[in-house]
Amino acid sequence: MTINYSQPCGADGNWQAPQHFVFPSPVLADWLQYPGSLTARLREHCQQFSIKVLYEGFSEIAPHEQLALACAGPYWVREVLLCCDGVNWVFARSIIPQSSLEGDAAAVSQLADKPLGELLFTGQGQRQSIELCQIAAASSIYQYADSSQPLWGRRSRFLLANAPLLVAEIFLPDCAAYRGDPGVAAS
């Protein structure tokens, strides 16, 4: 598997409100619509949680992302893999307008291998909206999946210290979202 560190993948698909979907399973629906921190939920499902940074820097974004973010660029883009016990479970893409990289929200550009979720689910973070999507089959996100099964994701617009940002989380095939009980794995 070749990982492209010089170009972001994007998160293309037909993003829509949750009520427009019929989900293939109640477990997947639960994961996609989960209101809390995905980072915290993933940590409950594994012994060791880790992050692999794939891309971080200023980049162009897709028109559907500009529309969802509703804020002018340039844009700081961060793409990571969220891993449980060394296995890729989630591809995450964060988009932050340069104007949001100032003041109290500036820490989002200095996360390194720390999860964004820890910043968003503090007293300063607020989810404004959520959209869901089945990722386009031609998406380069599939390079991180060990199969060609359909991938599902969610995208949220947040305010962090009153600064807007967009976060897409795509569940990869090994994620618990595609199997069994949505609850916490036994330790």
Tens digits of pLDDT across the chain (187 residues) = 333 455 677 777 888 888 888 888 899 999 999 988 898 899 999 999 999 999 888 889 999 899 998 888 899 898 999 999 999 999 999 998 888 777 655 666 666 666 566 656 666 667 788 999 998 888 889 888 878 888 999 999 988 777 788 999 999 999 999 986 544 332 2
User: What is the model's pLDDT at position 122?
Assistant: 67
Q: Which of 30, 21, 28, 39 is nearest to 132 (CA)?
A: 21
Which SS3 state, helix, strand or coil, does residue 77 take? strand
pTM for the full model? 0.86
**What are the boundaries of each domain within the chain?**
18-178
Q: Has 169 been labeled as part of a binding site?
A: yes
Tokens standing for 134?
């089945």
Domain 18-178 is of which CATH architecture? 3-Layer(aba) Sandwich (3.40)
CA distance 176 to 44: 11
The answer to whether the annotation marks 116 as part of a ligand binding site is: yes
78 is in an annotated binding site: yes
As a whole number of angstroms, the distance between CA 139 and CA 11 comes to: 7
